């Protein structure tokens, strides 16, 4: 059996066409089903439905052979025990520092002010500001990061931005980029060694399916 760890919502939505193209369509709609283990049209391949930030843990530990995870989640996790063979080019966004409009971020950094930063990406945020030589107090949040600067909980946030609508709606502005983000196919390192004959064809299929997407998206622009 090959298990593919995947999260509902954004990642599942954007991965669905790829799953169809590699012939592992789920037997039932994961968004409607309460099942956490869902068979697919390909015998011996199933989906396991986990939280987005848990995907690297399942795959890194070998509880799933394959998984689909955002680059943000992978970077924060650190990637122990897994390879990232295919950038799927989906669920694209950017990880950014954002502040209230009117907050002079550049001046605060220049003056060596101690910044309070709210984020779910504590590890990445610490590394980013350490590299800049900026002292920060990190505030771990699990969601709705945008509220933190509005309520005085933090001076800035580190969060994902795609259209920019959420920032605009809350009178926040992006002031710095940490990294571009897209979803990747990941594979357990040990499983790839011992079961390459089973896993490599599926990895290759995802790679070609992801190739098909890129020109299609470019053409729509």
What binding mask, one character per residue, do residues 168-187 give for ligand PRT by CB under 6 A, x or -? Answer: -------------x-x----
Q: Residue 103: how many CB atoms within 10 A of its CB?
A: 17
Give the x-and-dash track for 10-49 against ligand PRT (CB under 6 A).
xx--------------------------------------
Contacting ligand PRT (CB under 6 A), which of 19, 49, 52, 158? 52
- Choose, by CB under 6 A, the member of 60, 68, 159, 172 that binds ligand PRT: 159
Measured from the CB atom, the residue of 181 and 205 that comes closer to ligand PRT is 181
CA–CA distance, 25 with 12 (Å, rounded to integer)? 11
Q: Are 108 and 130 in contact (CB under 8 A)?
A: no
3-state secondary structure (DSSP) of residue 214: helix
Q: Which is nearer to ligand PRT, 47 or 52 (CB)?
A: 52
In a 3-state reduction of DSSP, which class is residue 93?
strand
Length of the chain: 221
Question: Which positions touch ligand PRT (CB under 6 A)?
Answer: 7, 9-11, 51-53, 70, 72-73, 91, 93, 159-166, 181, 183
């Amino acid at each position: 059996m090959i298990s593919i760890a995947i999260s509902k919502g954004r990642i599942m939505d954007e991965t669905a066409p790829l799953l169809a193209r590699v012939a592992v369509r789920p037997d039932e709609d994961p968004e409607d089903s309460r099942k956490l283990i869902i068979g697919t049209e390909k015998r011996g391949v199933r989906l396991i439905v986990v939280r987005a930030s848990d995907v690297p843990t399942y795959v890194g530990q070998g509880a799933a052979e394959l998984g689909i995870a955002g680059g943000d989640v992978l970077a924060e996790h650190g990637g122990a025990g897994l390879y990232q063979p295919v950038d799927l080019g989906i669920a694209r966004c950017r990880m950014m520092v954002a502040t209230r409009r009117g907050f002079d971020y550049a001046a605060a950094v220049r003056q060596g002010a101690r910044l309070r930063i709210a984020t779910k990406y504590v590890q990445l945020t610490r590394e980013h500001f350490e590299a800049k030589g900026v002292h920060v107090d990190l505030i771990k949040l699990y969601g709705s990061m945008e509220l933190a600067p509005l309520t005085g909980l933090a001076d800035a946030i580190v969060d994902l931005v795609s259209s920019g609508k959420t920032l605009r709606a809350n009178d926040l502005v992006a002031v710095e980029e940490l990294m571009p983000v897209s979803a990747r196919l990941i594979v357990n390192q040990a499983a790839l060694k011992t079961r390459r004959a089973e896993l490599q064809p599926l990895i290759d299929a995802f790679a070609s399916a992801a190739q098909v997407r890129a020109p299609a998206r470019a053409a729509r622009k």
